Amino acid sequence: MPDNLLGGRYLVTELLGEGGIGVVYKAEDTKAHTEVAIKFMIQEPATEVKTQQIRQRYFAREIAILSKIRHPGIVALYDSGFTEIGLPYFVMEYVVGRTLLDILKEGPLILGRAFNLLKQIGSALNCIHQHNAIHRDLKPENIMIVTKEGREEAKLLDFGIAKILEDTPSASVFMPITQVGHILGTVDYLSPEQWQDKPLDPRADIYAFGLIAYEMLTGEHPFRGGLSIGDTMMRHLEEEPQPPSSLDKEIPILLDEVILKSLAKDRNNRYSTVIDFLTDFEEVLAEIYRRSMSYLSNPATETLMYEIVDFDDEE
């Protein structure tokens, strides 16, 4: 753990988590009298110089992206600096809640709850894209759900491998596989173009967003369970996902087209913006509502429903 006193104001208290590039601690801001989270870049004595340079580049990029984005669904950046030994760090909003990953372990979400969270996640993701950046590691583990006054609020976390699109392309997006020891992204959520080492755009995030929507509705990931990284890769490149409604009869068939379009292998057939995805999703919900109201307002239907209810009451 780094020294407890940092920047003359931050009292580091406990470890929160560690990734391939950084480690996050909980701390107290003694001036503002609030709790914050502080991320330090990992520095290992035996690490190769090139590997450390890659980490430094990603760490600096994360600070750059968070410093120019302000959105209620994105963890806020407060401060940044260097420790006494020159280790970079940044201070951000401390978020208390449950990850979407933990919530999904309990099973699929009802349609209304799923759409409410997707709207919030999608709004934050669209904000990132509007700032000419992509997240590149969108997954349930990086989405925190906070409950305030009975309402769920989603927050996007961990921009450690996010990319500013005007960045000069590296020789390979997979350089960190060998240099840092981690695949650039999480294999279950990598888009086909990421597996194929193609230049990326926001549609890579939309693919991951579609996978999250699929999991929310069905409780299952369409491509998880590969016996190896190569097997997982081939599933993303070649295997067509089952329509969500085939896994759960409660999922409207009308939603199949929306979810599957976001998961198109060819990104040219995918949604170009997350707003387009959300618009189509909401239109399906509106159509379902219109059909249900039409059904309920039909006199013959009302009589039938009354007879069924009356029969049940007599039993």
Residue 35, pLDDT > 60, answer: yes
Give the pLDDT score at 256.
97
pLDDT digits (tens, 9 = 90+) for 179-200: 333 456 789 999 999 999 899 9
Q: Please write down the long-range contacts of 217-225, taking CB distance under 8 Å and 24 or more positions apart.
A: 217/108, 217/109, 217/111, 217/114, 217/244, 217/248, 217/251, 217/255, 217/259, 218/108, 218/244, 218/247, 218/248, 218/251, 219/104, 219/107, 219/108, 219/248, 220/247, 221/188, 222/263, 223/188, 224/188
Burial classification of residue 268, based on how many CB atoms lie within 10 Å of its CB (0-12 exposed, 13-18 middle, 19 or more buried):
exposed
Give the pLDDT score at 127.
96
pLDDT digits (tens, 9 = 90+) for 69-83: 999 999 999 999 999
Give the pLDDT score at 50.
77
Residue 171, pLDDT > 70, answer: no
Q: If you average pLDDT over residues 107-129, what whole number do you get?
A: 96
For residues 225 and 67, the model is more confident at: 67
At how many degrees (to 10) do helices 254-262 and 203-218 cross? 140
User: What domains are defined for the chain?
Assistant: 10-93 (3.30.200.20), 98-292 (1.10.510.10)
For residues 311 and 270, the model is more confident at: 270
Q: How far apart are CA 74 and CA 144, in angstroms?
A: 10
Residue 311, pLDDT > 80, answer: no
Highest mean pLDDT of the ranges 35-44, 179-188, 241-250: 241-250
* Residue 34, strand partner residues: 29
Residue 117, pLDDT > 80, answer: yes
Residue 310, pLDDT > 80, answer: no
Residue 222, pLDDT > 60, answer: yes
Confidence class for position 291, pLDDT limits 50, 70, 90: confident
Give the pLDDT score at 297.
56
pLDDT digits (tens, 9 = 90+) for 20-32: 788 999 999 999 9
Confidence class for position 173, pLDDT limits 50, 70, 90: very low
| End-to-end Cα separation, the chain, in angstroms | 67
What single letter denotes the amino acid at residue 279? T
Give the pLDDT score at 181.
37
For residues 90 and 20, the model is more confident at: 90
Q: Residue by residue, what is the 3-state secondary structure of the chain?
A: CCCCEECCCEEEEEEEEECCCEEEEEEEECCCCEEEEEEEECCCCCCCHHHHHHHHHHHHHHHHHHHHCCCCCECCEEEEEECCCCCEEEEEECCCCEEHHHHHCCCCCCHHHHHHHHHHHHHHHHHHHHCCEECCCCCHHHEEEEEECCEEEEEECCCCCCEECCCCCCCCCCHHHHHCCCCCCCHHHCCHHHHCCCCCCCHHHHHHHHHHHHHHHHCCCCCCCCCCHHHHHHHHHHCCCCCHHHHCCCCCCHHHHHHHHHCCCCHHHCCCCHHHHHHHHHHHHHHHHHHHHHHHHCHHHHHHHHHHHHHHHHC
Give the pLDDT score at 293.
75
* Residue 77, strand partner residues: 92
Q: If you average pLDDT over residues 227-240, what whole number do you get?
A: 90
Give the pLDDT score at 24.
95
Q: If you average pLDDT over residues 282-307, what whole number do you get?
A: 66
Contact call for residues 90 and 38 (beta carbons, < 8 A): yes
What pTM, to 2 d.p., does this model score? 0.84
Q: Which of 137, 188, 205, 280 is catalytic?
A: 137
Please count the other Cβ atoms lying within 10 Å of the Cβ belonging to residue 187: 18
In the residue annotation, 102 being an active-site residue is answered as no
Please count the other Cβ atoms lying within 10 Å of the Cβ belonging to residue 47: 16
Express as a percent the part of the chain with pLDDT over 90: 65
